[in-house]
Amino acid sequence: GPGPNPLLQNHWLMAVHPPLLYLGYVGMTVPFAFAIGALLSGRLDETWIRATRRWTVVAWGFLSLAIMAGMWWSYEVLGWGGYWAWDPVENASFMPWLTATAFLHSIMVQERRGMLKVWNLSLVIATFLLTILGTFLTRSGIISSVHAFTQGTIGYYFLGFIAVVLAFSLAVLAGRSAELRAAGHLDAAASRETVFLVNNLLLTAFTFTVLLGTLFPLLADAVQGVQVSVGAPFFNRMTVPIMMALIFLMGVGPVLPWRRADPDELKRRFIVPAAAFMAVVAGSLIFGLRQPYTIVAFGFAAFALAANIGEFVAPALKRVRAHGEFILLALLRVVNANRRRYGGYVAHIGVLLMAAGIAASSTFKIERNVTLRQGEVLEFKGYRLRFDELWGREEPQRFVIGADIAISREGGSESILQPRLNLYGANQPITTPAVRSRPHEDVYVTLMAWSAEEGATPTVTIRAIVEPLLVWIWIGGLIVGLGALISLWPDRRRRRGAAQRPAGIADAEPVPVVVTGELAAAGASAGQVAVARERTRLGPESAGKGILP
């Protein structure tokens, strides 16, 4: 065949992004199948939640890495210095990620408190439908996008499938509504389940906003024949406040206990995160930062990072004091004691690093377009960029024109950046920027045009961009994937316990029945302490009845 679109031949990430996205999309079929199976069979307890949680985390992890790889490809290939353009197909991959994230948080409320049953089923159905919507947008040809691959009638079949699945799922859900009444209720506003509920409402509002902005131009064109454009300004204006609130909740959620919080304990646990927030906000103002959203983003990210890191440090220090363990060994044993919980905290840390990178690179990005003769120098943001040489070479399936740009900083050594233009037959030249990444900032150079007339000095037109903290977006994305892996890593003790458990005993989350001090040292939550106390009170005779794991 003709091979891929030239844009898609330009970077190795195109061998990574589509398979990851495919695994994320297809993986969401499994929780949907479990949910519909539970509705049809009438087995509406937490069994289907426990059976499907790992499948959801696997699909969510692949989808997270796929979105990050797509952002990275956009940054490394398209030459504009950005990584997210609110393209309809980008949005289509982001929406099921939002609803799956909401589901992974709210299933904990159902497991612990017997609440949000209808909500969880609705989230699973919505996530599956949004993956089909993403496929529809890609394959139908109704949008113009670098991600749109075909024109044809297949889009009508996808649209019909979406309608049938939606109608069937809502009918089955409505038919079981009487059996899905919540067994529990909110005991206090200051509790973890309240934070999860607010988190879910925000993620749903986020999803609806992105869905509206994505589909509105299509609906306006179909109904009234009017061409309407919904671009980045709309999405940024509507979603940035929601993002700020979600970052804040990522710090509040881990600190609050289940059911009800003790005011004195809360004050103690919020001291360090609040101090981190005030220090970062004060530092931002001292260094001249005046953009409100950026200041709030940095402050909330510091607050949430301190809270999440504290969930690792505090129990590890207790183990050090109780058992005299080396701090890293204590930390590993804390994580190993509850991989699901601490994998979630690792994913939080990754998201927060990404948020800080996005805020910094968006706010402080500096760009300059300039034409240089061979040997001329551009002084730019403390860097010296010197055009040394223009060159060309034949590569398989393309001809490449590139420039050697020497980059240096005051007192530092020189290195060479090689931005390129790739020519695929008669197609328009495709840019390949040269990027030098450092922990504090990226230098991004794109070759826009060139001239090499015989007897004349070669010239190039380049776009030079400096973007602070951008590399932390990619680091944060990989940490999110690591968090999913930690959460999924099998526990040999749990597998052995499941193999030895008599038939009929539910596969519940194991909670160790030990004295409170040791449990706290192991990194357990206040809710686990309360459960352990209750189970210890019931006595050893309860073990044979399936109460003790």
For the chain (length 549 residues), average pLDDT per consecutive 10? 73 88 94 93 85 92 95 90 89 94 91 84 95 84 59 76 93 86 69 89 95 86 74 90 95 84 81 94 91 93 95 90 88 90 94 95 92 92 92 89 92 88 82 92 93 86 94 96 91 56 46 42 47 44 35
Count of alpha carbons within 13 Å of 449, Cβ hemisphere only?
6
CA distance 223 to 469: 44
pLDDT, residue 145, reads 58
The residue type of 311 is: E
By DSSP bridging, strand 377-380 and strand 398-409 are unpaired
By DSSP bridging, strand 398-409 and strand 415-417 are antiparallel
pLDDT, residue 148, reads 53
By DSSP bridging, strand 383-395 and strand 398-409 are antiparallel
pLDDT, residue 2, reads 64
Q: How many helices (H) and strands (E) does the chain have?
A: 16, 10
User: Can you tell me which residue has the tokens 């979600």?
Assistant: 246
Contact 97, 513 (CB under 8 A): no
Closest CA to 334 of 305, 313, 309: 313
pLDDT, residue 503, reads 46
CA distance 103 to 126: 10
The residue type of 184 is: G
What six digits make up the tokens of 441?
């900032």
DSSP letter for 395, please: E
CA distance 327 to 336: 14
261: number of Cβ within 10 Å: 20
User: Can you tell me which residue has the tokens 């879910």?
Assistant: 200
CA distance 216 to 211: 8
Chain centroid to Cα 445, Å, comes to 27
Closest CA to 224 of 232, 236, 216, 214: 216
Query: Among the residues of 460-500, which ranges form H helices?
Result: 471-488, 492-500
